[in-house]
Every structure is written in C-alpha cells, then in structure tokens.
C-alpha cells in the first residue's frame, strides 16, 4: 500500500512546530490543499523550550486541554544582580505546557481542517520551476521524493534553510542569537506557580536564567546568553554553578542545548512563492525569547494569505507582502522596539538593573504591571529615556 501523497499541492509547509502547523491549518481552512512535512519522527520532540505561554496567547488558537497543560502560573519573581527581588502578580493566567503533546494537538487540528501531514519527511531542497511553481525535494523515511506547490511556507525553525534556498538573508549576528541550555530537574523544592527570572553579569550575561515550574518538585531550569558572551564562558557553566548553589540534590531528567533568535524580524520574510514563519523568520520576542505565541500568530497570517494568493493566482512578492505588513502591525514593530532596548538598556549594566529594582521596591506585586515598571524606571532614571531614544533610532537606521 502506498501513501496517497499527491504530486502537487497549493501550499507545502516545511516544519510542523507551532508556526508550521498553524500556517497549515489556516491555509487548509481557507480552502487551499496543503501538505506539511516534518523531518522528525513526531513533532514537538526533542523539546527545545521552557514551555511557558500565557492564556491569551493560547486561547485564540486552541481549546485548553489538560493533556498538554503541565502547570498553571500566577506570578513571576525577578531577581536583580544585587539579589533584590521584584514580584509581579500575573494579570492573566500562565501555563507551562507539555510541548511534546501540545505540538501534536496543533498538528491534529491542521489535519482536521484538511491539511495532510507527513513525519520523517526531511526537506532537502526547494527551487522555482519555469512553470511558476516550486519543486520541493524531500526524503521520506530515507526515500527521495519531490512534490510541487504554488507557495512554500518555511516554518523550519532557527536553523531554517528554506529562506536561503530562495536568496533571503537569514544570518544572525552573535548578539542576536541566544545560546541556551536547559535541564528539566526533579527532586527540588520550588513555588509551583511562580516563574523566576535571574539577571546579572555573573549569573547570565546578556540574557537571563529562568525557573519554570512544572510542579512543586520539577522545573525547566535554563539559561540563555548571547553568543558574544557564550564564547568567554559557556552557558552550561553559568547554569551548573547556579543549580549547585541553589539545590541540594537535583536530579536531571532532560537536557537540551539550543539557539534562540533574539533578533528583529528579518527584513525580508516573503519573496515570490515563498513565506517564512516563526523562528525561521526571527519572530521571537527579542528580550524574553518567547516564540510559541508569536509563531502561531505569524502562522495564521501567512496561512490565510497563502490561501488567498492561491485563489487569485498571484504568488508574487508584492501580493505576499501583505503578510509582513500585517505582522508589523500586530507584533513586528513592537519587536523592533524591544530589540532596540535589549542590549543598550536592559542588559546594559548590573547597576542599571539594580536601580530599576530599587525604583520599584515600593510597588505591591498585584499593582506591578509592565507599564507600571516602565513608569517607575523612567522616573528613577531619566537618562534611560535618552538611552532608549538613541537605541531605538540606532536600531531603526541599522539594516
Ligand atoms: C531553551 C529554549 C526555551 C524556550 N522557552 C520558551 C518559552 O518558555 N515560551 C515560548 O513562547 N517560547 C520559548 N522558546 C522559543 C520557542 O520554542 C520557539 O520560538 C518556537 O518553538 C518556534 O516555533 P516554530 O514553529 O517557528 O519552530 P520550531 O518549534 O523550532 O519548529 C520547527 C520544526 O521544523 C522542523 N524542521 C526543520 N527543518 C526541517 C526540514 N528541512 N524538513 C522538515 N522539517 C524540518 C523541525 O524538526 C521542527 O519540528 C524557547 C526556545 C528555547 C531554545
């Protein structure tokens, strides 16, 4: 018996993470024929994620299902370089996911809308053909195959190659890639419903260290530091030091090394017949490194537009450019601002972070919001406004 994979689809999506599966789903729901290809034996594994996401980020895409919710989060603690703490009560519910189950649930939704998924399908190359279509080469369980499509959506994560095959520049500078290592650790005692973020040049230079609890005894504990610092002392050394000081007898049951693109969105995320989504398009929040919600939002925009392009028979860069315009309105411009703040303001110096925490010390956790934090920061450090303006302008005028 052979699988009923057709020779041609309207849309082929490369990668079945949150970005790819949501793009596949919305393209199929809007009427396109869709094939989505995943190189691993199942999506979501290995888990390269701390698995934190807010309820508004999820609710718009999928009904909450306890099969893939590990834990609920109600607050966050920020620990500054001088050891001071800032507590923030979350105004929306947060979740720690089980990505290995969650990613599959998103793929199931795409299939229910008519998209065909294939795992162990490694896309090896793609190119435009003279008939105005794209030929996608992949191996399925080791056997070489090709399939044609009108639009290819590259949702192939941080190591994305789809963009490069079509001439899009996807390279990242050392300061825009966070080198991350994370352990899932058991046999520890933590507040099960509070996230922790630790900052400081001795803890996590150019980044932060996180504790995302999966229960009162288990957590994803990881660190992300930018490439320029990672070459001096590896992220693992910082993380191991922290864990051995904080916990008595930790037991590691999962270890993952990965990169996070803490950059601005690529200046080019579409070209003729091609769209990029999620980490492949560098659509991660440049400070937090969060990219699940971001990839799903981009996937929805790209999937819907791909189907519209198929209906009108127009797969040109010009037509597809509605996607980056929409992305900029929803999150892209915000990410540019956050990116500008990242190095020059947030990770600028331990002293600045200490100052921020002192300025906010009087705010009770339930009143602490990002806006309140921002107001206090500006009040306590007028030079910051100038630095922010400079950073933003510099970022705007840097390609
Ligand atoms: C350590 C760490 C912690 C993180 N923590 C959080 C967090 O707490 N919250 C949050 O929101 N975000 C977090 N992120 C970021 C988040 O994991 C990503 O932004 C998100 O997974 C991006 O989704 P995506 O669909 O773009 O890419 P991915 O989830 O990376 O999916 C890409 C898929 O493409 C497949 N693929 C790649 N190449 C090919 C190919 N050639 N052929 C076929 N398939 C291919 C891969 O196998 C993969 O399944 C974290 C990241 C890291 C590394």
- Distance linking the first and last C-alpha atoms of the chain: 52
* Residues in contact with ligand 1 (CB, 6 Å cut-off): 14-20, 37-40, 43, 48-53, 122-123, 155-157, 180, 182, 222, 258, 260, 278-280, 284, 289-293, 295
Q: What share of the chain has pLDDT > 90, as a percent?
A: 78
pLDDT tens by residue, 175-210: 899 999 999 999 999 999 999 999 999 999 989 999
Does residue 46 have a cis bond before it (omega within 30 degrees)? yes
Torsion of CA 390, 391, 397, 399, to 10 degrees: 160
Residue with tokens 């979740």: 95
Over residues 118-151, the pLDDT tens digits come to: 999 999 999 999 999 999 999 999 999 999 999 9
pLDDT digits (tens, 9 = 90+) for 12-33: 999 999 999 999 999 999 999 9
Question: Number of H helices and number of E strands within the chain?
Answer: 13, 16
Phi, psi (deg, nearest 5) at residue 251: -125, 120
Helix locations, 216-369, DSSP H:
227-230, 235-246, 292-312, 317-320, 322-327, 333-341, 350-360
Q: How far is the CA of 363 from the centre of ligand 1 (A)?
A: 36
Structural domains of the chain, with CATH:
8-47+100-170+267-320 (3.50.50.60), 76-92+173-261 (3.30.9.10), 344-396 (no CATH)
Rg over CA atoms, the chain? 22
In contact, 87 and 76? CB cutoff 8 Å = yes
Note the pTM of the prediction, 2 decimals. 0.94
Distances (CA, A) of 273 to 167, 302, 313, 325: 12, 12, 11, 17
Pairing of β 194-198 and β 69-79:
parallel
Distance 46 CA to ligand 1 centre (A): 10
**Mean pLDDT for the stretch of residues 98-114:** 98
Residue 398: its pLDDT value, please?
Answer: 46
Distance 365 CA to ligand 1 centre (A): 32
What distance in Å separates the CA atoms of residue 196 and residue 219, rounded to the nearest whole number?
11
Q: What is the DSSP string of 123-134?
A: EEEEEE-TTS-E
pLDDT category of residue 227 using cuts at 50, 70 and 90: confident
Q: What is the pLDDT of residue 226?
A: 87
Closest atom, ligand 1, to C-alpha of 279: 26
| Mean model confidence pLDDT for the chain | 91
* Helical residues (DSSP H) of 69-151, grouped into ranges: 99-112
Alpha helices (H) in 263-349, listed in sequence order: 292-312, 317-320, 322-327, 333-341
Dihedral, 48, 288, 338, 319 alpha carbons, nearest 10: 30
C-beta neighbour count of 303 within 10 angstroms: 35
Whole-number Å distance, alpha carbon 44 to ligand 1 midpoint, is: 8
């Amino acid at each position: 018996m052979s699988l009923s994979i057709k020779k041609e689809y309207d849309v082929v999506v490369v990668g079945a993470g949150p970005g790819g599966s949501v793009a596949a789903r919305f393209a199929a729901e809007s009427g396109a024929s869709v094939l989505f290809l995943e190189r691993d034996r199942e999506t979501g594994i290995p888990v390269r994620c701390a698995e934190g996401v807010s309820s508004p980020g999820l609710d718009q895409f999928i009904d909450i299902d306890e099969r893939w919710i590990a834990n609920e989060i109600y607050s966050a603690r920020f620990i500054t370089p001088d050891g001071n703490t800032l507590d923030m009560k979350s105004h929306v519910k947060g979740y720690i996911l089980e990505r290995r189950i969650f990613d599959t649930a998103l793929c199931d939704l795409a299939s229910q809308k008519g998209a065909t998924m294939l795992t162990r399908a490694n896309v090896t190359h793609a190119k435009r053909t003279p008939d105005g279509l794209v030929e996608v080469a992949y191996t399925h369980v080791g056997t070489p195959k090709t399939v044609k499509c009108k639009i290819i959506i590259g949702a192939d994560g941080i190591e994305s190659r789809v963009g490069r095959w079509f001439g899009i520049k996807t390279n990242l500078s050392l300061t825009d890639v966070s080198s991350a290592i994370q352990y899932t650790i058991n046999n520890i005692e933590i507040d099960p419903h509070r996230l922790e973020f630790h900052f400081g040049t001795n803890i996590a230079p150019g980044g932060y260290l996180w504790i995302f609890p999966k229960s009162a005894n288990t957590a994803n504990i990881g660190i992300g530091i930018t490439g320029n610092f990672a070459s001096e002392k590896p992220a693992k050394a910082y993380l191991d030091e922290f864990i051995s000081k904080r916990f008595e007898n930790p037991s590691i049951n999962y270890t993952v090394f990965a990169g996070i693109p803490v950059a601005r969105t690529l200046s080019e995320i579409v070209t003729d017949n091609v769209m990029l989504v999620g980490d492949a398009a560098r659509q991660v929040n440049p400070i937090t490194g969060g990219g699940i919600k971001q990839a799903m939002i981009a996937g929805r925009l790209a999937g819907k537009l791909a189907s519209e392009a198929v209906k009108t028979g127009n797969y040109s860069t010009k037509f597809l450019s509605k996607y980056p315009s929409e992305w900029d309105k929803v999150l892209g411009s915000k990410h540019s601002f956050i990116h500008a703040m990242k190095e020059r303001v947030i990770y600028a110096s331990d002293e600045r972070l200490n100052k921020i925490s002192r300025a906010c010390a009087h705010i009770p956790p339930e009143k602490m919001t990002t806006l309140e934090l921002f107001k206090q920061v500006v009040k306590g450090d007028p030079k910051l406004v100038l630095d922010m303006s400079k950073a933003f302008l510099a970022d705007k005028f840097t390609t």
